[in-house]
Each structure stands twice: as structure tokens, then as C-alpha cells.
């Protein structure tokens, strides 16, 4: 069984993230979407909220599990017995930083390979940061996130 870990902050999860997860789930036996716990990042949603938003978005995919982890990704990957780290690429600029991270991860743990999935072009311009900014100004976000995430963003921005 090939286990893949798809890590990220997912604050919030977008349709682009879901597209990558769906495509990875067709390739690997099990995909763990792993929310990184980073106390230094000023996240809009708590880790538990992000896990809930992701779980709702991928509930139709039986071989996806949603989890979270603190610390180094390679330690988490080792603990889960995963052989693959899945990363989505939106643009050439993503590739440069992701390649650097993949190299460092491989140097620390050569038991897992990084698998890059280019984003579907219809999602290539979507980022969690942009979605949050649009939502903060009451702009239309329905084409970028699931209805459940849209509702959560609207509620957070009302307070």
C-alpha cells in the first residue's frame, strides 16, 4: 500500500487544493491531507477548523484521511509510513521553492519522494491568501472554495 502525505496550511482549503487531493487519491492507495501546525503563522482558522473544512470537502473520496502535525514534515511522513509527499504547483515560482523544500526533505529522509502535481489551469490563480483577502472585503468567493468553506469565511469575517 502506497501512502502519500499532502501537507499544507490549508487556511482555508480551496478548490485548487481539493483538485490536487482528488487527483492524488486516484494515484495512491491512501492520501493523508496533513494540516501543518505552525504557531508562528497568524492563521484565520484553527487547526481543528481547517481539518473540519477539509474533511467536509473530501468526504466523497474514501481513501483520503485528514490529520494534522506539529514539527517537521519528514518526521510525520516517517511516522505514517508514507513513501510520497504530494505537492501542488500553480506556477513556475512555486516550483522553485517547492524543489528546494523537496531537496531538503529528501536529504533528511530519503525514504519518501516528493511528487509534484501541476494544478488544473482553472485553479492556477487561486490561493488561500487571495481568498481570505477577497472574503475580508465581502467579495465573491464562491468560485474558489466549497459552499461550506464559503459559509465559514463569511461567519469569521462578520465578527
Could you give the residue numbers annotated as active site? 17, 41, 90, 128
13, three cell numbers: 482549503
Are the CB atoms for 6 and 24 separated by under 8 Å?
yes
Collapsing DSSP to helix, strand or coil, 150 comes out as helix
Which residues, 6 or more positions from 107, have their beta carbon under 8 angstroms from its beta carbon?
Answer: none
How is 47-62 classified by DSSP, letter by letter? HHHHHHHHHHHTTT-T
- CA angle 25/28/32 to nearest 5° reads 65
Q: Are 5 and 21 in contact (CB under 8 A)?
A: no
Report d(CA 158, CA 136) in Å as an integer: 9
Amino acid at each position: 500500500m502506497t501512502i502519500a502525505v499532502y501537507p499544507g496550511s490549508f487556511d482555508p482549503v480551496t478548490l485548487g487544493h481539493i483538485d490536487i487531493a482528488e487527483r492524488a487519491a486516484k494515484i495512491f492507495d491512501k492520501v493523508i491531507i496533513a494540516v501543518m501546525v505552525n504557531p508562528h503563522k497568524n492563521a484565520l482558522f484553527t487547526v481543528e477548523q481547517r481539518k473540519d473544512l477539509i474533511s467536509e470537502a473530501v468526504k466523497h473520496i474514501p481513501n483520503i484521511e485528514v490529520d494534522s502535525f506539529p514539527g517537521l514534515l519528514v518526521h510525520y511522513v516517517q511516522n505514517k509510513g508514507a513513501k510520497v509527499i504530494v505537492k501542488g504547483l500553480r506556477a513556475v515560482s512555486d516550483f522553485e521553492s517547492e524543489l528546494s523544500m523537496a531537496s531538503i526533505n529528501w536529504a533528511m529522509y530519503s525514504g519518501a519522494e516528493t511528487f509534484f502535481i501541476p494544478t488544473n489551469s482553472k485553479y492556477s490563480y487561486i490561493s488561500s491568501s487571495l481568498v481570505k483577502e477577497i472574503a475580508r472585503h465581502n467579495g465573491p468567493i464562491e468560485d474558489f472554495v466549497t459552499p461550506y468553506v464559503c459559509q465559514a469565511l463569511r461567519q469569521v469575517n462578520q465578527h
